[in-house]
Amino acid sequence: MSSASDPTAPTGTPAPARATQYSYEDLLACGRGELFGAGNAQLPLPPMLMFDRIVSIGAEGGANGKGHVLAEFDIRPDLWFFGCHFKNDPVMPGCLGLDALWQLVGFHLGWLGAPGRGRALGVGEVKFTDQVLPTVTKVVYGIDIKRVRLGKLVLGIADGWLEADGTRIYEAKDLRVALFQAQGSPAA
C-alpha cells in the first residue's frame, strides 16, 4: 500500500500515514470495523459491498482539487443481483451503483480520520444513460469531493460517476454522507 500525508492535521502535529490503495481484504476489514476503529466509518459486507478494490484515494485532486476516490468492481454473470433483477432480463440495479458512490464518500470521510458511523443523507441529481449487464467485465466508480465539513457534524459532499467497460453511464451530483456519533458518545 502507498501512503499520503494528512493535510487536515493540525500544524506541528505529525500526520499519520494513510494508504492510497485498498485491496478486497482491506475493504472486508473496514466492513468488520477494523480499519478506522470501532464505532467509526464501515463499509457494508458482501453482498452489499459494491466494489472489489480502491485503486486511488486522496485528500487532494479530483475535479475540485478537494479529494477523490476511484474504485473497481469486477462484474461476473453469477453476481447475486443478476439472478433476481430481473428474471430473463438481468441488469444490475441502478440503486446499487448509487449506493457504491455513497459508500465511497463515507469511506473517504473515515480515511480522513473523521469519527462516527456513516449514513447517506441524499443526492441532488442522478442520471442513468445505460445499464450494467452481465456482459460487462469491469465497473469503475469515481467520486470527486466538493466539500468536507469536519466538526460536530461530519459531512461529505461529492459528485460521482460509474463507468462500465470504459463508458460513463451513471452520474450523480451532490452525494451527501454524514458521520454520526453513537448515542451517548461525546461529540467530536
The catalytic site residues sit at 85
Report the C-alpha gap between 3 and 8 in whole angstroms: 15
Report the C-alpha gap between 101 and 107 in whole angstroms: 10
Interacting residues of 142 by C-beta distance below 8 A, sequence separation 6+: 68, 69, 70, 71, 160, 161, 162, 163
DSSP 16: P
Report CA 94 to chain centroid distance, whole Å.
16
Cα radius of gyration (the chain): 16
Bridge partners for 111 per DSSP: none
Check if the beta carbon of residue 136 is closer than 8 Å to that of residue 164. yes
Which residue type is seen at 73? Answer: F
